[in-house]
Structure 1
Amino acid sequence: MLDQLGDELGDFYRDLHRNPELSLQEHRTAGRVAEKLRAQGFEVSDHVGGTGVVGLLRNGDGPVVMLRADFDALPVEEKTGLPYASSVRAVDPQGHEVPVMHACGHDMHAACLVGAAALLARSTDLWAGTLLLVFQPAEELACGARNMVEDGLFERFPVPDIVLGQHLAPLPAGVIGHSTGPVMAASDSAHVVLHGRGGHGSRPEATIDPVLLGAHVVTRLQGIVAREVPPAETAVVTVGRFQAGAKDNVIPDTAELGINLRAYSAEVRTQVMTAIERIVRAEAAASGAPEPDVEWGTSAPLLVNDPDAASATFAAFTEEFGEQRLMPLPPVAASEDVGVFGEAADAPTVYWFWGGLDPEVFASAMAAGGIDSLPSNHSPHFAPVVEPTLGTGVQALVVAALAWLGKPAVPLA
C-alpha cells in the first residue's frame, strides 16, 4: 500500500524541506498539513496551541491512539547542496534575521505522519477505534507540547490511551532504534546575568569585572558532574552562551551566560539545578559583585518509554520488519517534549528512532572507525535520503498504530 502514495508524499516532504519555518511561525507548514488531512477525511482543527494541527478519524469502538509529529525548523544555514535545499531567511524572536533549515528531520516527521494518515484512512476495515493525529509546533523551544495541552488539547479532543511518536536519527535508513525505560534526558536551560561595575580597561581596580566572574563560573560549573553527581548517574552541564562587552578596553557592567543541563532522573535534575544556582551566586559573592539574576526557562521532561507498552509495540515492529532491522539503543542525552502529552493524558508513551543515512555511507564510516564524521541532527549538512527513510517512517507509524487498534497489521509491501 505504500505504492499507493506514489511520488506525492516525496514531493510533499521536499516542499516542507524547501520551505522551513521557525518555531511558533509554522503557518505555511500547518496549512499544508491541514490540507492533506482534510483530503483524507479527517476532522481537522488548526491553531491549537498556536500553530498546532489536530486530525481526528473515528472508526467505531476501540482505543484512542495518538500519533504525534513535530514540524518546526532551526536557525541553521543549509549546506547540503540538495536541489530542494532551503534558502529561507526569517526573523527570530529576538528580532534578528537568520537562515532557516530543517536540520533535525521534523519535515520528515510531518511527511511520515501525513503518509500514515493516508494509509490508515484507506484501511478502516482493518482497525477499530479513534486516531488522534497531533502535529506539534515549537519542539525546538520545548514549549509546543505544553502550549497545545494548555490550549485544551485533551478537553477538546479524545484523551488517548497510548501516545506514539518517532524521531529521525543518524542511523542507516531502514533501521529502527528502540529502548525501554528512559529514552531521552530531561533538559533545563538557565539565563544568567552577572552584574559587575564597568570602567576603563586600564583601571581594573576601580571595577568589578563580570567577564572574570563569568570565567570562574564557567570553570566551576564543570565540577558539578565530575564531583557532585554519583558515578552511577548521568548528567551533562553545558555553557552554550557567554556574552559580555563591546570593546576591548572597556570592562562591561554585565555578562550573560546561557546554561543547559541534562539528566535522567528527577533527583539528579534537582541536584544539578541547585548546584548551578549555588555556584553562580557564590562566585558573585566571592567577586564582591551584586546578586546575579538566574532565570530558568526552556524545559523538557524526562522521556520514558512505558515498559509494557514499548514491549508490545516493538514486538509488532519485530514481526513486521524482522529483528535484523531493529537496533537497541542506550538513552540519548538530547531531549524531547513529547512526554508532556503522555503525562497530561495519564497515558503510556512509546517513542522510537529510525535511520535516514545512506546505508553504504554509514557502513563505510563505521569501517573507518566511527560515524562522528557523518552529519547528524542540527548539522547544516544533515540530509536524510528520501527513500527508504520516508517509507520506513510511514510503515513504522502504521504498524505501531495497528498494534493498539486491535486488528491485524495492514500489508505494506
Structure 2
Amino acid sequence: MRSRGIARQLISSTFAAALLLASPAGANEAHDAYVYLHSNPELGKDLPKTHAYIVARLRALGGFTFDNVPSLPSAVIAILDSGRPGPTIALRADMDARRLDTGDEPVSHDPRSQTSGLMHNCGHDVHSAMLLGAAAELRMHPENFTGKIVFVFQPAEEVKGGADDIVADGVLSRLGVRAIFAQHVVPGQPVGEVSVSQGSAMAGSNTFKLILRGTASHAAMPFEGADLGVTAAKVIVELANLPARGWDVSNRPALISVTKVATNSTSINATPDEVTIEGTLRAFEPLGDSATTGTLNNLISTRAMALAHVYGTTAEWSVTPGTPPTVNDLETIRAIAADLPGVAGITLTVSTERYMTSEDFAYYGQVLPAVYFGQGIAKDSLGGVGVHQSEFTIHPDAIDNGVRLLVAMASLATAKLH
C-alpha cells in the first residue's frame, strides 16, 4: 500500500515537473548531439564515432554505469539508478545511417552529412539525440523517476544483428528490465503530436527469391522455348495480386512486393533460360512452412509452382525470415496513456492502426512488454518528406518533444509498472 501511495504521489507531481522535462539542459544536449550525429553518419554494426560520442557525453554527465554486448561492440548500454526502489525499464534508440542510392545529401540541409554517399535519412540520429537528451535530463532530475533506467543505444537497425543480437545476449534480462520503450520520427505528422498503436503495430518483413528455369530460344521464335521474360511477368502479376484474391486479406493482411528481377541472358536477341525474381513479403503473422497447408508460405509456393508448370518452366521458391511483427503491449499502454499527454506536453493518439513497414524493435517485444511510439516532426516546410529519401528533414522543435516524451515515459513507467 505504501508503494502505491508513493506512485500516486509521484504521478500527481509529474505534471508540475513538466517544465523540468523541457529544461535547457536536456534539450541543449539533444540538439548538440543531433548536429554531430547527423554530420557523421555510419553504417550497420560498426559505428566508432557514434559510439565514442555517446559514451563521452554520458561519462561527462556522470552517474551512469555501463554494460556491453560482445557481439555488438558499438552498442551503448547505460544504466541510471535513482537510488529509490522501483522497477527497471529501458529506453531504446537506434544509431545507424543509410547509404544513398545516388549522390550526396542536398547542400541546402543544415546540418548536413560530411560523409559522401551516407545520410541519416531515417531519423536514427535524432532518435539517439533525443535519448541522450533524456539521459541528461533524468541524470540531473532523478526525483522524476524511481528504480533504474537502462538507455539502449542500438546499432544495426537497417541491417540484421542489432536488436536481435541484444536480445540474444540476454543483457536486458540480466539487468532485470521490466518493459522497453522507443519512438520513431513520423514525416507528415505535426510536431507535438505522438501516436501509438495498440497490439499489432507493424508487419514482419521477410525476403523471398523465386527462380524460374526453362528452355531458351531465339527472340524471333519464343514458341521454341519457355519465353521466360513473358512468363516471369505473368508470375510477378500473380504474386502481387495473390493476397487480395487468394488469401483472407481482411483478417490476415499480407503484402508481396517484387523489387528485383534479373536474367542470365547475355544477348538482347535471345530469351533467357533463367529468371530470378526477388522482393519482400510482409504480414502480421508467421509465414509458416512452405509444405504446410494453410500458411501464406505454402499458398505462394503452391501457386508459383503451378503457374510455372503451366508455362513449361520449373520454379524454385525460398523465403528468408527477417524482422518479426512489432506488437505493442496493451497493458503497458493502458498504464501510462492517460497521464502521458499532460506530463510530456504532447497530443497523444492511441489507435488500432497498423502498418506494413517493419522495425527490429520487434525483437524486444518477443521477450519483454514493449511499446513503440510515433513522434511528429512536420512543421513549416520541414519534416514532410518520407524516410529513406535524400530530401528527408526534421523540424528541430521535434527534438524537444522527443526528450520530453522519453522522460515522461520513464517517470510514468517506473511509477506504475511493478
* TM-score, structure 1 normalization: 0.83
- 1:237 — aligned with what? 256
- 1:82 — aligned with what? 109
Q: Residues of 2 paired with 1:215 and 1:38: CA distance?
A: 57
- 1:195 — aligned with what? 213
The alignment partner of 2:89 has SS state of strand
Instruction: Verify: 1:331 aligned to 2:331, yes or no.
Output: no
Q: Residues of 2 paired with 1:298 and 1:266: CA distance?
A: 9
Q: Which among 31, 40, 43 is matched to residue 22 of structure 1?
A: 43
Contact 2:217 2:224 in 1 (8 A): yes
- 2:245 — aligned with what? 227
- 1:165 — aligned with what? 182
1:334 CA displacement: 1.0
RMSD: 2.7
Instruction: Verify: 1:278 aligned to 2:302, yes or no.
Output: yes
Q: Which among 307, 311, 322 is matched to residue 299 of structure 1?
A: 322
Q: Which runs of 5+ in 2 are unaligned?
A: 1-19
Contact 2:344 2:401 in 1 (8 A): no
Of the structure 1 ranges 184-193 and 262-271, higher mean CA displacement relative to structure 2 is found in 262-271
CA 1:143–1:278: 2 relative to 1, 3 Å: farther
- 1:365 — aligned with what? none
The alignment partner of 1:38 has SS state of helix
Contact 2:327 2:365 in 1 (8 A): no
Q: Residues of 1 paired with 2:241 and 2:376: CA distance?
A: 35
CA deviations on 1:336-370 (whole Å, 9 max, x unpaired) are 121211312xx211111111111x448xxxxxxxx
Q: Which runs of 5+ in 1 are unaligned?
A: 90-98, 363-370, 408-413
Q: Residues of 2 paired with 1:5 and 1:321: CA distance?
A: 14
Q: Residues of 2 paired with 1:322 and 1:267: CA distance?
A: 40
Of the structure 1 ranges 143-152 and 78-87, higher mean CA displacement relative to structure 2 is found in 78-87
CA deviations on 1:238-280 (whole Å, 9 max, x unpaired) are 1122222454224334322222122234489973332222233
Q: Residues of 2 paired with 1:5 and 1:389: CA distance?
A: 13
Structure ID, larger Rg: 2
Contact 2:27 2:399 in 1 (8 A): no
- 1:310 — aligned with what? 333
The alignment partner of 2:167 has SS state of helix
Contact 2:202 2:359 in 1 (8 A): yes
Q: Residues of 1 paired with 2:210 and 2:114: CA distance?
A: 33
CA deviations on 1:177-226 (whole Å, 9 max, x unpaired) are 12212211222221333334445434545544443332122111123222
Instruction: Verify: 1:394 aligned to 2:416, yes or no.
Output: no
Amino acid at match of 1:88: T
1:154 CA displacement: 3.6
CA 1:321–1:5: 2 relative to 1, 3 Å: closer
Q: Residues of 2 paired with 1:80 and 1:181: CA distance?
A: 41
Q: Residues of 1 paired with 2:283 and 2:148: CA distance?
A: 35
Q: Residues of 1 paired with 2:322 and 2:332: CA distance?
A: 25
- 2:4 — aligned with what? none
Q: Residues of 1 paired with 2:39 and 2:276: CA distance?
A: 35
- 1:349 — aligned with what? 370
The alignment partner of 2:262 has SS state of strand
- 1:255 — aligned with what? 275
The alignment partner of 2:256 has SS state of strand
- 1:54 — aligned with what? 77
Instruction: Verify: 1:184 aligned to 2:184, yes or no.
Output: no
Identity of aligned residues (%): 29
Q: Which among 149, 165, 172 is matched to residue 131 of structure 1?
A: 149
* TM-score, structure 2 normalization: 0.82
CA 1:211–1:113: 2 relative to 1, 3 Å: same
CA deviations on 1:64-116 (whole Å, 9 max, x unpaired) are 10111111222225337213222534xxxxxxxxx222111111111111111
- 1:366 — aligned with what? none
Of the structure 1 ranges 37-46 and 117-126, higher mean CA displacement relative to structure 2 is found in 37-46
Q: Residues of 1 paired with 2:318 and 2:81: CA distance?
A: 44
